[in-house]
Structure formats: C-alpha cells, structure tokens
Structure 1
C-alpha cells in the first residue's frame, strides 16, 4: 500500500482528476464574478488548505533551510502559476470548459519541449509521437464545429 501511495502515476492521475473538477467548478463559480477576483478567491483557499495540510502532516520547513536558487525558481514558478490561473479563469469566463481545458492541456506539449531544451530531458521517437498526438487531440477537442 505504501508503494502505491508513493507512485507518481497515482498522484498524476489524481492531479488530472482534480484539474478536471477545477474546470467544472470554476466555470460554474465565475458565472457572476470577475475572473481575476475569482482567481484571488481560489488562491486564498489554496493557501489555507496547504497551510492546514502542512500543519496536519508536520511537513513545515524552516525558511532559512531553503537555498536562494530554490527560492528564485519557486518564486518564478509561483508567478507562472498565477499568470496561468488568471489566463485560465479568463478563458473560462469567455469559453466553454470543454474547449478551454484541452487548450490548457497543451502545456503537456510545452513541458516536453521545454524539458528537452532547458533540462536536457531525452524523449524517444514514440514519446515525441505521443506528444504530437496530445497536441493534435487537444486541438480537435477544442475545435467547435
């Protein structure tokens, strides 16, 4: 059981399921709310939930135990996340969740490209084929006939 809970596949599948629920709940929630303010509310909820989770599981770390390089990239990641959320909620305000979410998932394609270019990750031909199919699939799902 412990090996199952330590599986990246489990957590990736749960992430996908919660991301899907995020789109549905957000689309309903922003009906009469400014999308940027809705993003703010979401962020406050996440901050509170994570603080409670860290406290409940005793996972707090001392802030001075983290390197400057880690802080830099975590801040950059936070800024990118915030920008992504603002854009995502705006897209949901104007578009259908079933079209916005697949375009948002083009991030999978971009992560593969950035991972190869910036992190030196190597993907085999079949992996790149899968990345290409994800891109094509996202566009086909988002295209409204």
Structure 2
C-alpha cells in the first residue's frame, strides 16, 4: 500500500494487491487478489474490482461499478456511476460463454449507466456517453452514443 491512502468503511482488499500513493476508496468496496492500482486512483462506493485487474495512475471509478477479471484501465480514465463491464455473454447460452477481457485506453471516459461488452477496447481519448451499450471497439478520440 502506497502513502496517504483514504479507505472507506467495510472495504475488503484481498492479498497480493499493489496499491500506489494517494489511493482513495469509498465505502463497501471489494478489491480481489492479483490486482495493481496506480497512484492517485479513486474508487467510489459499492464498487467491485475482480482479480488480475490493472488500473493505471489517476483513474477515477464511480459508485457501483463492476470491473471484471483481467480488465485493463489506462491512465486518467474516468468511469461514471453504475457502469458495467461485461467479459462474458449474458444470454444464458453456455455454449457461447467465452471470456474476453476489456481494455480502456488512456484518457477515455465512460458515462454513467453504460455497458461495455466482452472484448471491447475503448480507444485513448474516446468518450462513451451515459447509458450507451458498446459491443464493438471504439476508436481513439471518438464520441460514442447509442442512437435509438
């Protein structure tokens, strides 16, 4: 654990987790093993970080965010409240269950209530609008929104 952490109530941080300096964590956060969290990272209340996740420096993760195993989050990434990163299909078909990790490149932002699907890479500086569902890669510096 780096210097100057602020950790909320009822947080659980498993073993073999590297946490950099100036880490801030809200209440009721769970961080699983084999995870690396860089300097100046903030994680909001009721968020979950699964095993083998890398969160680079200065990333901000909102409240009630689900970060599945092996996700890669770049420097300065912003993730809004209630975002879901999904690494497996949820259609109920066991034959199609194949794990595919997610990459959020440096400086991208994910709006609240967005869903990022399996295997998606959100490019550096891209912006995913609130409530969007992303099933394909988002190129760098692009604004992505669902058109209904």
Q: Which band: TM-score by shorter chain?
A: under 0.3
> Which has more strand, going by share of residues?
2
More helix by share: 1
User: Which protein has greater RCO, CA pairs closer than 8 Å, 6+ apart?
Assistant: 1
Per the normalisation by structure 2, the TM-score is 0.22
- What is the TM-score of this pair, normalised by structure 1? 0.22
